[in-house]
Amino acid sequence: MSDNVTMKRKVIVSDPEVMGGTPCFADTRVPVQTLLDYLEAGDSIDDFLEGFPTVKRTQLIQFLESATERMVAAAC
């Protein structure tokens, strides 16, 4: 899959049929909040990925990049 196609895919999805609509990483049942909880607790990205192997590193990085862009834009 090329980078252009990967970038166009949703990284986070919210589906009422999956985890009651909780925002999750696409194609997984792993809530985004779980990643944030790991990071807040001081755990590493590698720790998170080891615990949740259905989440791909590229998804996680794309999520963090998008969140960073939104936070910077909101601060301006």
Domain ranges of the chain: 3-75
pLDDT band at 76 (very low <50, low <70, confident <90, very high): confident
pLDDT score at 8: 58
Q: What is the per-residue pLDDT for 2?
A: 38
Nearest to 58 by CA among 27, 21, 19, 23: 27
pLDDT tens digits for range 4-50: 334 457 999 999 999 999 999 999 999 999 999 999 999 999 999 99
Measure the CA–CA gap between 70 and 17, rounded to whole angstroms.
Answer: 27
pLDDT at 70: 92
DSSP H helices in the chain: 3-8, 32-40, 45-51, 57-75
8 Å CB contact between 25 and 32: yes
Decide yes or no: CATH 1.10.40.30 for domain 3-75: no
